[in-house]
Amino acid sequence: MRSVMLHARRFGMQGHWRILAAKQPACCLRHRATVVAAAESGTAQAPPKPATGSIAAVQVLDEHTAPEKLQSISTLILDCDGVLWRGSEIIRNAPEALRVFRRDGKRLLFVTNNSSKSRVEYAAKFRSLGLEVSPDEIVSSSYCAAAYLKSVGFGANGSRTDKKVLLLGWTGVEQELRAADIPFIGGREFQLPAMDSMDAMKELQVDPDIGAVVVGWDPNFSYSRIVYASICLRELPGCVLVATNTDCADHIGGGRMMPGTGGLVRAVEVAAGTTAVNVAKGGEWLLPYLCRTYNLDPSRTAIIGDRMDTDILLGRQGGLFTCLPLTGVTTLERLQSLPPSERPNVVVGSVAKLAGLP
Amino acid sequence: MRSVMLHARRFGMQGHWRILAAKQPACCLRHRATVVAAAESGTAQAPPKPATGSIAAVQVLDEHTAPEKLQSISTLILDCDGVLWRGSEIIRNAPEALRVFRRDGKRLLFVTNNSSKSRVEYAAKFRSLGLEVSPDEIVSSSYCAAAYLKSVGFGANGSRTDKKVLLLGWTGVEQELRAADIPFIGGREFQLPAMDSMDAMKELQVDPDIGAVVVGWDPNFSYSRIVYASICLRELPGCVLVATNTDCADHIGGGRMMPGTGGLVRAVEVAAGTTAVNVAKGGEWLLPYLCRTYNLDPSRTAIIGDRMDTDILLGRQGGLFTCLPLTGVTTLERLQSLPPSERPNVVVGSVAKLAGLP
């Protein structure tokens, strides 16, 4: 905590606050203009005055002060990228932190918006980084897509068992749909003719049994896929649009960001004139599903995540205890620019601090 | 006018108004939910009562009553698809109407949001449908993209003459960029490696001289193109995003709609965390450009178009006289659901009626 107070004061004294705020990554925001507007606002311009001002400084808890905050917590929902690892690099002492949480009797759920991998593929990634996790503890958005479809009648024994899915996505969702016995077309190897003329689009015949379009991260995303999806959504009665997540972009190291699934979802939404159900953090379906499936008591559940618009939003939606580690996309400056009522309950240097580790 | 009053009354008497409103095409709306909400609103639910109610019926002028409305007008801005033709079918008496307008001394400008063709290609399409139009009278959004770029310094003798354009688009924009001497990469034949791994995206090197990304209708649109565009926009200083238009979808006959440019633009906006400049109808750049270039007097200029969110919006932005023919996407029911203050100045059965033709 001490180090942060010094940190904030230093910015104030040097008058650098505004520049730092304007340098915020725009990854999770719809428009860069929003960031500029925030930087231009009174809140961002005025240097924080921890001692006398009206805006309280963000307190960053350390390994001595953080663990007690989790005393009454029985379930931890952990985000992955930005919390346990960043790209392919493990966060310091993250494996040890998971061991401490388990030793203290806490149930762990790993909830990630990434749709590129299935639960089984994720478990392998956890193991490769030295993290001991079973597939049952992993709730990836690829899994959520299949779980959502089952909840609305797709798959064996469901009320829409005659319906199949059009997947604009990758192997993670493919595997989860197979595991859930939900028939689908599309996916990684979906070949379509070029849609470069009105005639091609007029003549396209879509599979009349499609009852849902799922959009996930899709490196083969194309105009032809948008055409096929929008025709299904506009012309097939009851066909619904499902987004594995709506994240805009992700850090991939070296200051570079890669396009997330959010833009692909928006392209299909606009073309089809409809709105997707977002089954990941940031949407409204996930938390009630988690509460139902894992019998969660919100008052004894904490979420640990690095994104305000997905992780902390999910926690705030459900009255969970919210913890933000500074190892991901959200900076201390960004948190400081928010009114205290919108900040996470706890800010820590890393997930390890919550376990009392350096 | 008589026929419409009867029309509206018939709906009212049969109580069918709400169903008709709910069947509105959602083409130009961001979300189908919006349409449902409109249909659920009090305005849409209550059957219009032309004789005694508070909502005046929409008056549809005929060939006897419409022409006098254009008496003081010296320039007509005409939309194309939905006004002069629909798909490949000419609207009845449209060629004759253009002849009448010219005989009456009116200047004609054909302003279309379609970016797939250049001015020269459009002139050929006009001729093939029996419409006499010169390329100089055509303002296609492909042409607007080049004009906008010139206005901000691209091309020979400009302040950004060292900069080139990344084009996600088709031959129409390619031809207009060449005609304006603006160097570009991309376009129809832009080959990129698959972007199916973080490593591929980390290693991608973009052309450092790119100063603008132009997104138009692009049948070769792909995730790889989104990656390339978003890296340019995020990493190259001053790189701007330009949309030829943001139309969501277009009718192509048989009740089918094709995805427009709007969804492609949104995909790039979300991935890059920025907002595009829309150079077509619906954006803010076009009308001042038209006024400047063609020395328009707004009080003596009319716009004739079938879309509320582009044509009529443009007219309302600039204080033009607005005319909507019922040969395009906007139905009488949709107009009736709007408050009178938001309706076009004149509604006609077709463009021919404005020229006194059946």
> What is the spatial distance between Cα A267 and Cα A285, in angstroms, rounded to a whole number?
21
Considering only CB atoms, B267 lies closest to which of A87, A198, A263, namely A263
- The reply to whether B62 sits in an annotated binding site is no
Which residues of chain B are within 8 Å of residue A266 when distances are taken between CB atoms?
263, 266-267, 269-270
Note whether B183 and B137 are within 8 A (CB): no
Structure tokens at A3: 């180090």
- The reply to whether B79 sits in an annotated binding site is yes
Average pLDDT, chain B: 86
Check pLDDT > 60 for residue A16: no
What's the mean pLDDT in B339-352? 95
- List of domains in chain B: 1-113+286-358 (3.40.50.1000), 143-278 (3.40.50.1000)
Check pLDDT > 80 for residue A69: yes
Residue with tokens 């203050």: B341
A32 touches B at CB < 8 Å: yes
> What is the spatial distance between Cα B132 and Cα A167, in angstroms, rounded to a whole number?
47
Which residues of chain A are within 8 Å of residue B221 when distances are taken between CB atoms?
222-223, 226
> What is the spatial distance between Cα B78 and Cα B98, in angstroms, rounded to a whole number?
10
pLDDT at A86: 87
Note whether B17 and B50 are within 8 A (CB): no
Pick the range with the lowest mean pLDDT from B14-28, B168-182, B204-218, B302-316.
B14-28
Grouping H, G, I as helix, E, B as strand and the rest as coil, residue B323 is strand
* HSE value, Cβ hemisphere, 13 Å, CA-based, for A152: 18
Contacts of A154 (CB under 8 A, 6+ apart): A160, A161, A163, A165, A180, A182, A211, A212
What's the mean pLDDT in B144-149? 98
Strands A256-259 and A277-278 come out as unpaired
What's the mean pLDDT in B48-66? 75
Pick the range with the lowest mean pLDDT from A9-18, A134-143, B112-121.
A9-18
> Under an 8 A CB cutoff, do A275 and B31 touch?
yes
Pick the range with the lowest mean pLDDT from A16-25, A187-196, B339-348.
A16-25
Indicate if B79 belongs to the active site: yes
**Percent of chain A at pLDDT above 90?**
79
Q: How does residue B251 score in pLDDT terms, banded at 50, 70 and 90?
A: confident
pLDDT at B50: 43
Check pLDDT > 50 for residue A290: yes
> What is the spatial distance between Cα A307 and Cα A323, in angstroms, rounded to a whole number?
10
Which residues of chain B are within 8 Å of residue A329 when distances are taken between CB atoms?
none
Q: How does residue A39 score in pLDDT terms, banded at 50, 70 and 90?
A: very low
Structure tokens at B99: 């002849």
Q: Which of B259, B323, B336, B289 is nearest to B67 (CA)?
A: B323
Which residues of chain B are within 8 Å of residue A196 when distances are taken between CB atoms?
170, 219-220
Is pLDDT larger for residue A10 or for residue A233? A233
What's the mean pLDDT in A201-220? 98
pLDDT at B54: 58
What's the mean pLDDT in A228-252? 96
> B54: exposed, middle or buried (C-beta count within 10 Å: 0-12, 13-18, 19+)?
exposed
> Under an 8 A CB cutoff, do B266 and A266 touch?
yes
What's the mean pLDDT in A57-78? 96
pLDDT at A87: 78
pLDDT at A22: 29
What's the mean pLDDT in B230-253? 95
Q: Which pLDDT tens digit goes with each residue over B93-110?
A: 999 999 999 999 999 999
B2 touches A at CB < 8 Å: no
> What is the spatial distance between Cα B59 and Cα B349, in angstroms, rounded to a whole number?
10
Check pLDDT > 50 for residue B323: yes
What's the mean pLDDT in B135-158? 96
Grouping H, G, I as helix, E, B as strand and the rest as coil, residue A27 is coil
> Under an 8 A CB cutoff, do A221 and B219 touch?
no
pLDDT at A55: 73
Is pLDDT larger for residue A188 or for residue A16? A188
Considering only CB atoms, A258 lies closest to which of B227, B263, B274, namely B227
Average pLDDT, chain A: 86
Pick the range with the lowest mean pLDDT from A271-280, B3-12, B236-245.
B3-12
Q: Which pLDDT tens digit goes with each residue over B308-317?
A: 999 999 999 8
Q: How does residue A54 score in pLDDT terms, banded at 50, 70 and 90?
A: low
Note whether B263 and A270 are within 8 A (CB): yes
What's the mean pLDDT in A258-278? 98
What's the mean pLDDT in A306-318? 93
Q: Which of B39, B42, B64 is nearest to B53 (CA)?
A: B42
